[in-house]
Structure formats: structure tokens, C-alpha cells
Amino acid sequence: MVAAIENGTVIDHIPTDKVFTIASLLQLDKCTDQVTIGNNFESDKMGRKGIIKIANRFFSDAEISRLAAVCPNIRLCIIKNYDVAEKKVATLPDEFINVIHCANPVCITNNEPMKTVFYVTDKERGTVKCRYCGKEQHLENIKLV
Amino acid sequence: MNSRSIVSIADYSRERIQKLLERAARFEQQPNQRLLEGKVVATLFFEPSTRTRLSFETAANRLGARVIGFTDPKVTSSSKGETLKDTIKMVSNYADLIVMRHKLEGAALYASEVTDVPIINAGDGSNLHPSQTMLDLYSIWKTQGRLDDLNIYMVGDLKYGRTVHSLLMSMRKYNPTFHFIAPKELEMPEEYKLYCQKEDIRYVEQTDFTEDTIADADILYMTRVQRERFTDLMEYERVKDAYILRADMLGKCRENMRILHPLPRVNEITQDVDDSPHAYYFQQAQNGLYAREALICEALNIDF
């Protein structure tokens, strides 16, 4: 189906509509190592799912927490020597710096060359609040920077 | 944010608000205090606002400061594409304090992050306007002798009215009871009602505005119902006269009740109300001067 990797990271059980967003968030288009992106595989848990395998890449906690903006609680498997050496969960951080684009067109962040800052206000409901304009937004509707 | 900037006063403690109120009262006794001798205050109005600008500039002048600034961004480098950051950094070389109004939400907070000069937010879009809130609090405190346990009636456009939202949030520590009187299209937004529930603030919503409904008010905070806010103009025609305060509606009101309005008024308070002892909106605007003198001293760490 998809070739196993010797060392690297596997992100499994990705909702099918999030696969390419995650690929873009992790800047896989610039990755020079082997990358496998699969989508619409059958899954007992989800019906259909996506999977991404990246050889020789290990993501920092900061990079993993960025994933939570689009896919809270997604799991990453760290592969070493063809075995799962560790599992990490992308839990929502307390804040996102320059990850989320503010949906408010009259927010200063959409009109100045500056970083956006969002505070996570409700981890269960997945809501965030813009530091600058104060507008609360749902993670389901956000766009990435 | 640099620590002396005043972007919002919503999180100020009761003690800090009390200190500002008492300071404003001292300025009312004697507005001319040369506490800012040798200082330069910049008023940067990226969005025109004559009333707020004149009030801030008068406050700075009465404190003995020199005032520089602009009233229209068309005459500045902003119109050439200069970023807000660059404008603020440039003005920071000249001024001890920057008072700014901007049409974009969050502009004042961002400005306070790019300079060490204190910023006072004179309004950032429909977001925050702390000096208006301060003058409202001062007007309530002065006319009622307290901020605690008051019946505050808010009337008119409660959906877009920035002043009523700020006032609502800054009254949360004073055990108020709010009455929201508005047409359906302009009712208090859900997020502020949730805020009230979360903070245990009592509120009542109603659509009718009569002599009887306002009889228990301590403060009647009027706002303007604007035609351009309505998607359904028939609805506007139906409600436009329903939220007008007339002198003959004041017969049953409490003696201590005072009518506030952020101004400008159009027709939502009829002229015959002006002569009533309950009318307070012109003094309220005057209180803006003392409230702003108090805020300027706060931002510059000047004790008075």
C-alpha cells in the first residue's frame, strides 16, 4: 500500500479534507527527503482517512502544536529502525503565533506586515481569540497564515 | 505592550478605577495644572474624530504640554503606504505620549508593542475606546455618588454601540442590573449576554420603551438608532420613533436618574429633554476633559 520508512515520521488517521492542509503547514513541498502522501484509504475508525509519511524528518514540539490548529489531537508516530519509537499527540497549545489568519477584515493584523497571535480560549470547543481585535473564532473556520 | 500604555481599561481593578475617578474630580476642581511642562503630546488621528481629538488636545494643553499631530491621515505618509509601525516609531522620536485613533481594530495595542512611548487608545475601529468608558464611569460616579448596585438602562443601538459594550464590561465589578432596550435587529449581541451570564451580571431584555419601563432607572444610557444599520428598511421605519426619549416620559422616573448619551445626538432625545434636571449628556461630554487629563497623567506616571 504505502512503503514503510526506516526513520522518520508517520501521521496517520488524518481526516481526508485535512491531508493537503497538513502537508502545506509542514512545508512538505520544500522537503527533499522521501514523502508519501496518501488519501481516501479505508479506515475502520474513520471510514476514510489520509496518511503522510516523511522519511528522516522529526518535528519539533512547536511544529507539532501548529498541526493542532487544523487537526487537534492528531497522532504522530516517530519511526526509528522501522519501529514506532514514540507517539506524539498534537494537543492545542495555549497560543498560536503566526499560524492563524484573522477572519476579521478590519483587524490590524490583516493590514500590517506583522505576526498574528491567537489565544486558545476553549480547548474542548476549539475556539481561539485574536490578541489584537479580540474576535473569537472557531478553529473549524480558520485559514492559515 | 509597554507598561504605561492605556489600550483598554476593562481589566483595571476597582482601586485603580477609583484612583482615576478621584483624580478626575480634582481636575474638575482645577483643570489648569502645569504638570506636563516641557512635554510633547502627539495626537495621531488616522481616522478623523473632531470631538475626541479636541477633548484630548484641550486636556494636554490644560496640563501645560505642547501638542503635535495630525487630524487626517491623507496628509501623512500613511497615504504613501507607510506602515503604522514606521509612523509610530518616527513619532516616538519626538513625543512623550502618543494619543491615537485608528479605524483598524487592535491598532493601538500593536502600536504599544512597537514603541516605548506610552500610547493612549482614542478608539480603534469598533473595538475599544477607554477614554469614553472612563468619562462614562466618571459621570455615573459623580451623579450617583457610587458605581455599585445601580440600575443601568441601555437604549437604542445595542448591537453596534461600542460605548455600551465597553461600559457593560467595565461595570462588572460593581454589581449592576442592566436593562437592554432595543429593537430586535439591534439587540445586545449574544457574546455580551454570555459575558453577563459568566460574570453573574443581572440583565433584562425588552423592546418597549415607555415612561413605565424606565421608572426604576438610575442611569438611562441613550444611543442612536441609525438607518444604515438596518437590512430591512421597513423594519427601520417601524422602530425609528420607538426609541426616542421625550420630556413627557420622565414623569415617573427616579429623582437621581440621569440621562447619558455619547453624542452626537440626532433625534433620539428630543430638545425638550435638555431642560430637564435629568439631562446630563452635555456635562458628560465636559467630564471627558477631566477623565482624559486623569488618563494622560496615568500614562505618564504623574501623580496628582
Q: Output the domain CATH number for residue B213.
A: 3.40.50.1370
Say whether A113 and B83 touch across the interface (CB within 8 A).
yes
Q: Whose CA is closest to B185, among B156, B143, B216, B214?
A: B156
Whether B34 is catalytic: no
Same domain, residue pair B67 and B208: no
- In this model, does residue B176 exceed pLDDT 90? yes
Same domain, residue pair B262 and B278: yes
**A113 contact residues in B (CB cutoff 8 A):** 83
Tally of structural domains, chain A: 2
| Residue B2, in any domain of the structure | no
Say whether B84 and A132 touch across the interface (CB within 8 A).
no
Distances (CA, A) of B89 to A33, A53, B101, B115, B145: 44, 46, 16, 6, 42
At position A32, the amino acid (one-letter code) is T
Q: What is the mean pLDDT of residues B78-97?
A: 93
Same domain, residue pair A25 and A78: yes
| Residue B242, in any domain of the structure | yes
Same domain, residue pair B155 and B205: yes
Average model confidence (pLDDT) for chain A?
92
Query: A55: domain CATH number?
Result: 3.30.70.140
Quote the cell numbers at residue A7.
Answer: 526513520
Grid cell 496640563 is found at B63
- In this model, does residue B283 exceed pLDDT 90? yes
Say whether A112 and B109 touch across the interface (CB within 8 A).
no
Q: Whose CA is closest to A46, among A68, A15, A72, A70?
A: A15
Instruction: Find the closest chain B residue to A115 by CA distance.
Output: B110
Q: How far apart are CA B30 and CA B85, in angstroms?
A: 37
Whether B165 is catalytic: no
Tally of structural domains, chain B: 2
Same domain, residue pair B143 and B278: yes
Q: What pLDDT, on the 0 to 100 scale, is given for residue A7?
A: 96
Chain B: residues touching A (Cβ < 8 Å): 83-85, 102-107, 109-110, 124-128, 191
| Residue A58, in any domain of the structure | yes
Smallest Cα distance from A105 to chain B, Å: 9
Same domain, residue pair B59 and B193: no
In terms of DSSP bridges, do strands B66-70 and B40-45 run parallel, antiparallel, or are they unpaired? parallel
Give the rounded distance of the alpha carbon of B132 from its chain centre: 2
- Among B85, B106, B126, beta carbon nearest to A132: B106
End-to-end CA distance of chain B, in Å? 24
| Residue A127, in any domain of the structure | yes
CA atoms in the 13 A half-sphere facing the CB of B92: 16
| Residue A2, in any domain of the structure | no
Please, which pLDDT band fits residue B191 given cuts at 50, 70 and 90? Answer: confident
Say whether A113 and B107 touch across the interface (CB within 8 A).
no
| Residue B169, in any domain of the structure | yes
Whether B129 is catalytic: yes
Same domain, residue pair A21 and A76: yes
Three-state DSSP state, A31: coil
| Residue B292, in any domain of the structure | no
Encode pLDDT of A109-127 as tens digits: 999 999 999 999 998 889 9
Q: What pLDDT, on the 0 to 100 scale, is given for residue B248?
A: 96
Give the rounded distance of the alpha carbon of A30 from its chain centre: 16
Average model confidence (pLDDT) for chain B?
94
Counting every residue written for chain B, the total comes to: 304
| Residue B207, in any domain of the structure | yes
Quote the cell numbers at residue B133.
Answer: 468608558
Q: What pLDDT, on the 0 to 100 scale, is given for residue A1?
A: 58
Same domain, residue pair A21 and A71: yes
Torsion sign across C-alpha atoms B101, B105, B111, B117: positive
- In this model, does residue B59 exceed pLDDT 90? yes
Q: Whose CA is closest to B300, among B67, B39, B102?
A: B39
Same domain, residue pair B106 and B223: no
Indicate the residue among A72, A89, A106 that finishes a domain. Answer: A89
Q: Tell me which H or E stretch contains A138.
A: strand A136-138
- In this model, does residue B134 exceed pLDDT 90? yes
Same domain, residue pair B206 and B243: yes
Alpha-helical segments (H) within chain B: 14-29, 50-62, 84-92, 107-113, 130-144, 162-170, 190-198, 233-239, 281-299
Considering only A53-67, B110-124, B206-220, B222-236, which range has the smallest mean pLDDT?
Answer: B222-236
Whether B231 is catalytic: no
Q: In what order do the strands lie in the sheet with A136-138?
A: A95-97, A117-122, A127-130, A136-138
Cβ atoms of B111 and B84 within 8 Å: the answer is yes
Say whether B107 and A108 touch across the interface (CB within 8 A).
yes
| Residue A1, in any domain of the structure | no
| Residue B293, in any domain of the structure | no
Same domain, residue pair A42 and A81: yes
Please, which pLDDT band fits residue A62 given cuts at 50, 70 and 90? Answer: confident
Query: A105: domain CATH number?
Result: 2.30.30.20
- Among B103, B110, B191, beta carbon nearest to A132: B110
Same domain, residue pair A79 and A110: no
Torsion sign across C-alpha atoms A93, A99, A102, A106: positive
Smallest Cα distance from B103 to chain A, Å: 8
Same domain, residue pair A102 and A81: no
- In this model, does residue B229 exceed pLDDT 80? no
Same domain, residue pair A39 and A101: no
Q: What is the 3-state secondary structure (H, E, C) of A47-92?
A: EEEEEEEEECCCCCHHHHHHHHHHCCCCEEEEEECCEEEEEEECCC
Same domain, residue pair B176 and B265: yes
Same domain, residue pair B68 and B170: no
Say whether A108 and B105 touch across the interface (CB within 8 A).
yes
- Among B105, B110, B191, beta carbon nearest to A114: B110
Same domain, residue pair B91 and B211: no
Same domain, residue pair A24 and A78: yes
Q: What pLDDT, on the 0 to 100 scale, is given for residue A141?
A: 85
- Among A107, A114, A136, beta carbon nearest to B105: A107
Indicate the residue among A89, A107, A125 that finishes a domain. Answer: A89
Can you give the residue range of the structural domain that contains A52? 8-89
Q: What pLDDT, on the 0 to 100 scale, is given for residue B72?
A: 82
Three-state DSSP state, B169: helix
Can you give the residue range of the structural domain that contains B91? 31-128
Say whether B105 and A113 touch across the interface (CB within 8 A).
no
Please, which pLDDT band fits residue B126 given cuts at 50, 70 and 90? Answer: confident
Q: What is the mean pLDDT of residues B159-180?
A: 93
Whether B58 is catalytic: no
| Residue A3, in any domain of the structure | no
Same domain, residue pair B73 and B193: no
